[in-house]
Structure 1
Amino acid sequence: MLRPISFNFIRRYSRLNNFELEYFCSSQNINEIEQNIAQRKGVGNIKRVCELYDQYKSVNKEEKTTIENELISEILKIPNRTHPEVMKNSIDGNSTIVKLIGEKKVFNNKPLEFQEIAKRMNLVRTDQLGNYSGSKSYYLLGAMASLERALVQYAMKTLMANNFELISVPDLIPRELVEKCGLLTSGVRNQVFVLDEKLHQNNICLSGTSEMSLAGLYMNHIFEEAELPIKLAAVSRCYRSETSNLAEERGLYRVHEFTKVEMFLIVTPEQSDSMLEYIRNIQEDHFSLLDLHMQVLDMPPDELGAPAYRKYDIEAWLPGREYYGEISSCSNCTDYQSRRLGIQYRNKNGELKFVHTLNGTASAIPRLLIALIETGQKEKGVVELPKVLHKYMHGQEIIKKQTKIPTLKLIKSKQ
Structure 2
Amino acid sequence: MIRRKLISLCRSNYNRLCSSMTQPDIDLGYYCDVSNSSEVKQNISSRKGVGNIDRVLDIYNRLKVIDVADETRDALKQELYRELSKLPNKTHPSVQGHEDDPIVVHELNKKRDFGKHSPLEFSEITRLMNLMRTDKLGQTCGHKSYYFLGELAELEEALIKYAVSYLIKENFKLVSVPDILPKNVLESCGMSINSDRTQIYSLDPIHHGPDLYLSGTAEMSLAGLLMNTVHSSTDLPLKLAAVSRCFRAETSSIIDERGVYRVHQFTKVEMFAVTTPQQSEEMLEYIRTMQEQMFMPLGFNMKVLDMPPHELGAPAYRKYDIEAWMPGRGNYGEVSSCSNCTDYQSRRLNIKYKQDNTTNYVHTLNGTACAIPRMLITLLETHQDTKGKIFIPEALQPFMNGKKYITKNTAIPDLKLTKKTK
Shorter-chain TM-score range = over 0.9
Q: How far did residue 63 of structure 1 move?
A: 2.5
TM-score by length of 2: 0.92
Tell me whether 1:372 sits opposite 2:379 in the alignment.
yes
2:374 maps to a residue whose letter is R
Of 12, 18, 28 in structure 2, the residue corresponding to residue 21 of structure 1 is 28
Which residue matches 1:43? 50
Of 12, 24, 40 in structure 2, the residue corresponding to residue 33 of structure 1 is 40
1:47 maps to a residue whose letter is D
In 2: Cα distance, 1:127 partner to 1:48 partner: 49
Which residue matches 1:254? 262
Which residue matches 1:127? 135
Q: How far did residue 413 of structure 1 move?
A: 9.1
In 1: Cα distance, 2:326 partner to 2:212 partner: 37
Of 331, 341, 355 in structure 2, the residue corresponding to residue 347 of structure 1 is 355
Which residue matches 1:63? 72
In 1: Cα distance, 2:420 partner to 2:308 partner: 48
Alpha carbons 1:332, 1:358 under 8 Å: kept? yes
In 1: Cα distance, 2:287 partner to 2:24 partner: 31
Alpha carbons 1:260, 1:361 under 8 Å: kept? yes
In 2: Cα distance, 1:55 partner to 1:14 partner: 22
Map 1:3-402 to 2 at 5 A: 15=22, 18-60=25-67, 61=69, 62-88=71-97, 90=98, 92-108=99-115, 109-348=117-356, 350-402=357-409
Structure 1 residues without counterparts, runs of 5 or longer: 1-12
Alpha carbons 2:24, 2:348 under 8 Å: kept? no
Alpha carbons 1:131, 1:410 under 8 Å: kept? no
Q: What secondary structure is seen at the aligned counterpart in 1 of 2:298?
A: coil
In 2: Cα distance, 1:293 partner to 1:308 partner: 26
Q: How far did residue 27 of structure 1 move?
A: 1.4
1:164 maps to a residue whose letter is F
Which residue matches 2:11? none
Shift in alpha-carbon separation, 1:132–1:14, aligned structure 2, 3 A: closer
Q: Deviations over 1:201-236 (max 9, x none)?
A: 221000000000100111111111111110000000
1:393 maps to a residue whose letter is M
Q: What secondary structure is seen at the aligned counterpart in 2 of 1:374?
A: helix
1:271 maps to a residue whose letter is Q
Alpha carbons 1:101, 1:295 under 8 Å: kept? yes
Q: Deviations over 1:67-104 (max 9, x none)?
A: 1111111111100000011112x1x2110000000000
Q: How far did residue 276 of structure 1 move?
A: 0.1
Q: How far did residue 199 of structure 1 move?
A: 2.5
Alpha carbons 2:323, 2:333 under 8 Å: kept? yes
Deviates more, 1:276-285 or 1:179-188: 179-188
2:106 maps to a residue whose letter is K
In 2: Cα distance, 1:251 partner to 1:128 partner: 14
In 1: Cα distance, 2:371 partner to 2:345 partner: 23
Alpha carbons 1:129, 1:410 under 8 Å: kept? no
Deviates more, 1:308-317 or 1:15-24: 15-24
1:226 maps to a residue whose letter is T
Q: What secondary structure is seen at the aligned counterpart in 1 of 2:396?
A: helix
Q: How far did residue 15 of structure 1 move?
A: 4.5
Q: How far did residue 403 of structure 1 move?
A: 1.4
Q: How far did residue 406 of structure 1 move?
A: 3.1
Task: Tell me the number of residue pairs that the alignment of Structure 1 and Structure 2 aligns.
Answer: 400
In 2: Cα distance, 1:414 partner to 1:53 partner: 69
Q: What secondary structure is seen at the aligned counterpart in 2 of 1:388?
A: coil
In 1: Cα distance, 2:396 partner to 2:169 partner: 16
Shift in alpha-carbon separation, 1:168–1:14, aligned structure 2, 3 A: closer
Q: How far did residue 408 of structure 1 move?
A: 3.7
Q: Deviations over 1:119-151 (max 9, x none)?
A: 000011111111110100000001011000000
Q: What secondary structure is seen at the aligned counterpart in 2 of 1:313?
A: strand
Q: How far did residue 294 of structure 1 move?
A: 0.4
Q: How far did residue 409 of structure 1 move?
A: 4.8
Q: How far did residue 28 of structure 1 move?
A: 1.2
In 2: Cα distance, 1:57 partner to 1:155 partner: 52
Q: What secondary structure is seen at the aligned counterpart in 2 of 1:137?
A: coil
Q: What secondary structure is seen at the aligned counterpart in 1 of 2:395?
A: helix
In 2: Cα distance, 1:363 partner to 1:281 partner: 14
Structure 2 residues without counterparts, runs of 5 or longer: 1-19
Q: Deviations over 1:356-397 (max 9, x none)?
A: 000000000000000000000011011111011001000111
In 1: Cα distance, 2:74 partner to 2:374 partner: 46
Q: Deviations over 1:324-380 (max 9, x none)?
A: 1010000000000000001111112x1110000000000000000000000000110
1:54 maps to a residue whose letter is N
Shift in alpha-carbon separation, 1:14–1:21, aligned structure 2, 3 A: farther
Alpha carbons 1:180, 1:340 under 8 Å: kept? yes
In 2: Cα distance, 1:414 partner to 1:71 partner: 62
Which residue matches 1:405? 412
Q: Which stretches of structure 1, 4 residues or more, deviate above 6 A after TM superposition?
A: 411-415
Q: Deviations over 1:246-288 (max 9, x none)?
A: 1111111000000000000000000000000000011000000
